[in-house]
Structure 1
C-alpha cells in the first residue's frame, strides 16, 4: 500500500510540474541528473489546484522554493491578502531585498510601487490572470500572473512571473548611442579636422596674441572635442578585438602592475596587487591594451574619490569562482551616492565639471567585448568594481 501511495504522490508532482507555465532547468545534486522543463505550447495563462489546502499548500511551497530559485526571472507568490508566501532569489536580488525577510510581508513592500500598478493585486481584485503585459514602472519587463484556487473556486494564491528586461533596455540604449556616434563622426569630425588645419596654418602668420589664443585655447579645445568623439565611437565598436591568451597573475603583476605602480607613485597612493588565490596557469582571452584602459579609468576615478583625512589605498585582487575569473578593483575613497550609482555606466552621465561621462561606459563596453561583466558596489567606506571573465582553456605544459 505504501508503494502505491508513493507512486500516486510521484504522479501528482509530475502533473504539478507539467502544469508550471514557465521554463526552468534543474540539476539534482545527489544523482547529477539534469531536467529541463518547457511549458506546453497551449498552456493557459493561469492554472488551478483545487486539491490542496492550508498546511499542505505551505509545505508544497517549501518544496518548490529551491526550484523557484533556479528561475532567471522574478517569481513571487502571494496569498489572497497580497502577503508574500514565496519569493525566489532573483526577485530579491534585482529588487535589493532580503530574500528571507520579505516572506509574510505585503507585496507592495517588495515592489515599492503604487498598488494599482501591481499585477498580482490586480489579479486578486479581478480574478483574471494577466498574459504577457509589458510594464514600464521602476523596471521594464513582461508580467504574467497565475491563479491557484481552493475547492470552492476562491483564490488561495496568485503567482506572478516577471521577465526582468532592464538589461535589454540598456542594450537598446547602447545601440542608440552607437547610431548617434556614427552620425557625429560623419557630420562633425571632418569639419573639426579642417578647422584645426586652418588654425595651425594661420597661427604662424598672425601676431603673438593671436598665436597664443590659437595654441593655448582654440586648437586644444578642438582636440578635446575630437577626443570626445573618439571615445564615444568606442561605444559602438563591433569588430572583433585581437585577443591573446593572458595569464592573469602575469598580466596583473608584470604588465598592468608596471603602469599602476607608476601612477600610484605619482599620486602618493598605496597599491596592492594580490594574485594569491589563483594559479599561475590561470588564463583568460583578452586584449591587454584594452584592459589596461579599463584599469587606468578606474584608477583615475579612484583619485577623484580621494578623501582629505586618509591616504588613498587601491587593492586589485584576483580569484576564481567556478569557471570564471573575478578581478576586483577597490578603493577607500568617499564612495558613490546611491542616486548616482544607478547611472554611472550611462554615456555622458558625470558629476565632474570637466568630465565627459564616457570613461565607465567605455570600460563596461570593453569588458562586455571580452565576454565578461562589470559591476560596482559602493558605500561610505569606498568603491569596488568587479570584473568577471571566462577562464580560457590552455594547453598543458610539456616537460
Structure 2
C-alpha cells in the first residue's frame, strides 16, 4: 500500500504541475493501476496523499492544490464507472464513497478556514483584488482602517472604492493617489499619512504566484515613526551641541567688545543727536547674546540638580509670572485644583524654564487668534501610576500636523521674531529629567501640551 501511495502522490504532483492540459494522463495511468482497489479505498489514499502534499508547501499553494485535487479525483473515479455497474451492494458503496468525499471536503474547508482566520487577525490590513480588478477579500483590520463594514467593500473595483460614500474624503484621495503610484506605476511600497497624522506603510504584491490577483497590505507604523523621529531629534540636538561648542564663545567675545565700545561712544552720539543709533545697536547686541544663550541651552542644558518640589506650588508660580501679560492680551489663566501632596523630583530652575516656554507659546497662539471668544489657558496636573502628567491647554489658533511634527526642531518657528529654540530647550530639559512631552492640536480649536515627569 505504501508503494501505491507513492505512485498516487507522484501522479497528483504531476497533475498540479501540468495543470489542466496534462490532467488526463496521470488519472488514466492510475485508473489502470488501481483496478483491484475499491473506490472508497481510493478516496482514502487520496485524502492521505493530499495531507502529505499540503504539509510540505506554502499555505496559499496548499489551498490551490486542494481545489485542483477534487477535479483529479473525479477524473480518476470516472475510470471506475463500469465497476459500479457490477457491484452487488452498489448503493452502499456509493454511500460510503459519498461520506469519504464529504469528509475530504470538510478537511479542505478546515484548512481554508484556518488560513482565512490567520489573515483576518493579522496586524496588517489586507485587501485582495482579483485578476479583473474587483475586491474579493478584505480582513477585519482593513475594514477598521477604512471605517466601513468590510462586507460592503466586496465586489468593488478601485473606481468604485474611491467613490464609495462610506469613506471619508481624505481616504478617497489617498486611494486615488495609491491607484496612480501602485497600480499604474507598479510601485511595491508606499507610505501615506492620514488626516489624523497616522503613518501607514502600504505594500502591493503582484506576480504569477497570485494568478493575476493583487494583494494590498496596510500596516500602521505610527509608533515606529515616533521612535524614528525621537532618534532623529536626538541626533539633531547632538549635532547642535557640537556646533554650539565650536562657535558660541567665538561670537560672544567680539560682541562683548563691540557693546563696550558702543557704550563709550554713546555720549558723542548724544551730542550729534544720534542717540537712537546707539540704543538700537546695543539692543541688537543684547538680542544676539540672548539667542546665543538659548542656543547653548537648547544644545546642552546643564545636568539637572534635582530636588523634591510640590507640583501645585511650581504651577502657581508659573501662573503668577504670566498673569499680567495674560490680562494685556485678553486672556485668562486657570489653574485646576491639584493634590497638595503631589511632588516630583526636578531641577526647579530648568523645570520652570520649560513650563514658562510652553505657557509663553500658548499666550502667543491666543494673541494671534482671530476668534471673538476670550482667550483661555488651562493648567492642570494628575497622577498617573508612577508619574505626573502636567497639561497646558489653550484655545488659540492651533496647528496642523506638519507644524506639530517639526515643533521641537531647533530653529523651526512660525513667529516673525522667534528663534525656534524655546521648545527645543523644553524637549531636552524634559528628556534629561526622564520625562516625555507630546502635543495635540487642531487648526482653530487650540493646542494641548502634555508633560510627563517621574514621581519622587
Query: TM-score, normalising length from structure 2?
Result: 0.56
Measure, in 1, the Cα distance between the counterparts of 2:352 and 2:391: 14
Query: TM-score, normalising length from structure 1?
Result: 0.63
The structure carrying a bigger helix percent of its residues is 2
The question of whether the paired residues in 2 share the 8 Å contact of 1:376 and 1:383 is answered with: no
Q: What is the RMSD computed on CA atoms of the aligned residues?
A: 4.4
Measure, in 2, the Cα distance between the counterparts of 1:233 and 1:251: 25
Deviations along 1:58-88, one digit per CA (max 9) or x if unpaired, are 4334555xxx4xxxxxx55554669863659
After TM superposition, the structure 1 = structure 2 runs for residues 194-213 of structure 1, keeping only pairs within 5 Å, are: 194-209=257-272, 212-213=275-276
* Aligned twin of 2:289: 226
* Aligned twin of 2:355: 295
SS in 1 for 2:231: helix
The question of whether the paired residues in 1 share the 8 Å contact of 2:412 and 2:420 is answered with: yes
* Aligned twin of 2:442: 379
Measure, in 1, the Cα distance between the counterparts of 2:409 and 2:149: 31
Q: Does 1:180 align with 2:240?
A: no
* Aligned twin of 1:57: 115
SS in 2 for 1:357: coil
After TM superposition, the structure 1 = structure 2 runs for residues 126-141 of structure 1, keeping only pairs within 5 Å, are: none
Deviating 4+ runs (over 6 angstroms)? 80-84, 102-113, 115-118, 121-124, 135-139, 143-147, 151-161
Q: 1:354 to 1:160 in 2, by over 3 A?
A: closer
Gaps of 5+ in 2: 1-56, 64-110, 154-160, 163-170
The question of whether the paired residues in 2 share the 8 Å contact of 1:330 and 1:383 is answered with: yes
Gaps of 5+ in 1: 1-46, 69-74, 125-129, 394-399
Q: 1:87 to 1:247 in 2, by over 3 A?
A: farther
Count of paired positions = 317
* Aligned twin of 2:407: 344
- Rg: which structure is higher? 2
Deviations along 1:327-361, one digit per CA (max 9) or x if unpaired, are 11111122224443333322222232222222222
Moved more, 226-235 or 380-389: 380-389
Measure, in 1, the Cα distance between the counterparts of 2:412 and 2:325: 25
Measure, in 2, the Cα distance between the counterparts of 1:379 and 1:80: 36
Deviation of residue 292 (structure 1)? 2.1
The question of whether the paired residues in 2 share the 8 Å contact of 1:372 and 1:387 is answered with: no
* Aligned twin of 1:258: 320
Deviation of residue 199 (structure 1)? 1.5
* Aligned twin of 2:454: 391
Deviation of residue 100 (structure 1)? 5.1
* Aligned twin of 2:331: 269
* Aligned twin of 2:31: none
The structure carrying a bigger strand percent of its residues is 1
Q: 1:338 to 1:216 in 2, by over 3 A?
A: same
Deviations along 1:341-384, one digit per CA (max 9) or x if unpaired, are 33332222223222222222222222222222222222244322
* Aligned twin of 1:284: 344
